[in-house]
Amino acid sequence: MAAPLIGSVFTRDPQVLAVATSYLRVMPLGAVAYAVVIVLNTAYNAHHRSQHTLTLSLVRVFALVVPFAWLGGHYYQIPGLFVGAVAGNALAAVLGWRIYLRLARNAGSPAETVRA
């Protein structure tokens, strides 16, 4: 939609514009998934579960985003790298949500996980 227009503000090189357009079309989806991870990390911290915050953050980067981005880039070049990064962020959001639900279920409710 507006991706080529936004990219053209920064460059006139057609190859760079193609990469910028691809980035602007794909990566916002990853930002949404990453926002879910940030909210979950905040919830873990609020419930005094900072070890879950650290674990989710490390798993997101080193076990999901980096390997998926590398695989995507390896097989599908630059667009694959972007899609892989989005997939890694999406999987981290799903994983974080499942862990949060399990903690809430084990505690009876999220509010009961707060320690005095």
Instruction: Determine the pLDDT at residue 116.
Output: 43
Q: In percent, how much of the chain has pLDDT > 90? A: 84
CB neighbours of residue 95 within 10 Å: 18
Asked if the structure places residue 71 within a domain, the reply is: yes
Mean pLDDT confidence for 72-98: 97
The range of the structural domain enclosing residue 70 comes to 26-113
Asked if the structure places residue 81 within a domain, the reply is: yes
Mean pLDDT confidence for 49-73: 97
Asked if the structure places residue 100 within a domain, the reply is: yes
CA distance to 15, 51, 57, per residue, from 29 (Å):
23, 27, 18
Mean pLDDT confidence for 47-75: 96
Asked if the structure places residue 8 within a domain, the reply is: no
Q: Above 80 in pLDDT, residue 30?
A: yes
Number of domains within the chain:
1
Residue entry with tokens 């707060």:
114
Please give the Cα distance from 60 to 90 (Å, whole number): 9
pTM (two decimals)? 0.86
